[in-house]
Amino acid sequence: MTLLQTLRPLGLNFDLRLPLRRSVPALILGIGLSNGMPTAMAFYVMHEFRHAQLLDAQAAGELLTEGFLAPHTRRALRNGTISDTEAQEMNRDFERIADVSPILGAVIWDLEGNAIYSSVGIITENMFLQDDFQLALQGGSSHVEVTDMDAFDRHDTVPLPYLELYAPIRTADTGELIAVGETLMDISQMLITRRDAAQSVLIASALASLALCFLVVLNLLQRARLLQQLADASHLVLQNNRLRQSADRARVLASQSNEALLNQLGAEIHDGPVQVLSLLMLSNDLDQSQTIKSAGMDRKSLISSVMTELRAISDGLILPEMKADSLAGSIALAIARHETLTGHRVICDLSGLPRTVDPELAVCLFRFVQEGLTNAFRHAGSATEHVTGRLKGQEIVLTVSDGGSGAGPLKAPITSHRGLGLQGIRNRLRVFDGTITLLPNAEGGMDLTLRVVPA
């Protein structure tokens, strides 16, 4: 049985399913954000890292263009062309640069897109219509990554992958654009570094996603736990209120039962021993003494009867010594006492009872049997009563039965102490959440049954 099913019969309409249903979209959204945000951040970081790499490479290309290609270009254009001797000198200078840098080659283009110098072989391609060349003609710098997928119609003699860097070449005095320099740079190591960085970023993103997912799930679990604790606290408040109300009712009923007990105890003493003592006081008169003798009783007999009745009243108020290690033995004491006082035989079967219960519950069961046998003797008038006790599941079931009308109602023995009554037994039993029922049986008598679950 779930907590919700337990609380509803108690009148607590605290439904945990609605908050939990509302938590499902929050869980989905939280997991989505915890995965999407780190992934988006990873792509952003990788994009910025690539952009930084290309800016560094572009700065290196511009430096090479300005320091190496621009001086040769200015001399060649003043002479009209680059001579073979100058081209060989440029090639030797370029080889020295290539030995200590990732530069693969260099090309000088005129403003019409024709190559006037190339360190990577003869170039017949015209670059005028290329976007990168046009951007350089406008005074800007540009770059193109060339890999296996986009190497078509590029420099066939240059090993892949490489980066094409375009930069304008201007005159030293006026700054007039006179040519475009192209630098070819090996980017294999750059791509390896980029791949390693991407892997690190993706791993960090995955760890961040897992951490965020864990936090989202932990938050929802804590929320569900708090809701459960709130429901438990509400249940405890409701239960405490009901227990307090039950305790208040029990105090009122106990007070009423005590008042009834005192009233009946006073009536027993007044109607019995006090009457006899009054008779004894009047017996000082000779006529009263004669009256006592004529009734077949003397003063000593009357005093003895008074003492017997007072002892009986006291005996009914004081619980006899009970057997702490045997519930059946304690109930047998009540049965034996009833048989002694009434002369009736009580047939009992207590083999199904548990061996021991709490002492307070044992007293309650003792009083129940005592009152049940007294009621059976008083009202049924049958010569035999029955007491059966068994354990049904976790519940103790104790029954006092009579066989119906016999010799008619009799005067109950005074030791039953009518002040206890079934109402007093019910008050005792309410503390243990037990019940008492009185139903007719097949023999025409009545069955008084007690049901209680021991703690």
Asked if residue 190 and residue 325 are part of one domain, the reply reads no
CA angle 278, 279, 282 (to 5 degrees): 90
Domain that holds residue 160: 20-194
Among 143, 165, 194, which residue terminates a domain?
194
pLDDT of residue 298: 65
Burial class, 176, CB count within 10 angstroms (exposed 0-12 / middle 13-18 / buried 19+) = exposed
- Provide the pLDDT for residue 310: 76
Based on the fold, state whether residues 186 and 50 are members of the same structural domain: yes
Cβ atoms of 157 and 104 within 8 Å: the answer is no
Pairing of strands 345-352, 142-146: unpaired
Residue 248 burial by Cβ neighbours in a 10 Å radius (0-12, 13-18, 19+): exposed
- According to DSSP, residue 67 is labeled I
Domain for residue 312, yes or no?
no
Instruction: Quote the pLDDT of residue 447.
Output: 92
**Residue with structure tokens 């799930």?**
217
CATH number for the domain that contains residue 39: 3.30.450.20
176 with 32, same domain: the answer is yes
Of 194, 212, 242, the residue at which a domain comes to its end is: 194
Residue 282 in any domain: the answer is no
Between strands 115-118 and 395-402, the pairing is unpaired
- Tell which of 194, 228, 249 closes a domain: 194
Parallel, antiparallel, or unpaired: how do β-strands 177-186 and 162-170 relate? Answer: antiparallel
Put the strands of the sheet holding 162-170 in their side by side order. 115-118, 103-109, 177-186, 162-170, 142-146
Question: If you ran DSSP here, which 8-state letter would residue 319 be given?
Answer: P
Model pLDDT, residue 154: 58
Angle of CA points 12, 18, 20, to nearest 5° = 110
201 Cβ neighbours under 8 A, 6+ residues apart: 42, 45, 46, 49
The answer as to whether 287 is a domain residue is no
Q: Is residue 256 part of a domain?
A: no
pLDDT confidence of residue 353: 92
Q: Is 207 among the domain residues?
A: no
pLDDT in tens, the chain (455 residues): 444 444 444 444 444 455 556 666 766 776 677 677 777 888 888 888 888 888 888 888 888 888 888 888 887 777 767 777 888 888 888 888 878 888 888 888 888 888 888 888 777 677 777 888 888 888 888 778 777 655 555 566 777 788 888 889 888 888 888 888 888 888 888 888 888 988 888 888 888 888 877 887 788 788 878 888 888 888 899 999 988 888 888 777 777 777 777 766 776 676 567 656 765 665 555 454 454 554 455 667 767 777 777 776 766 666 656 666 789 998 998 888 888 877 788 999 998 899 889 888 888 898 899 888 888 888 776 778 999 999 999 999 999 998 776 444 444 444 444 444 677 788 778 888 899 999 998 888 899 999 999 97
**Are residues 39 and 188 located together in one domain of the fold?**
yes
Whether the pTM exceeds 0.85: the reply is no
pLDDT, position 311: 72
Residue 410 maps to a domain: yes
Q: What pLDDT does residue 117 have? A: 84
Q: Whole-angstrom Cα distance, residue 17 to residue 1?
A: 15
Report the distance separating Cα 11 and Cα 241, nearest Å: 12
Structural domain includes residue 264: no
Q: Is residue 330 part of a domain?
A: yes
CATH of the domain at 328: 3.30.565.10
- How many domains does the chain divide into? 2
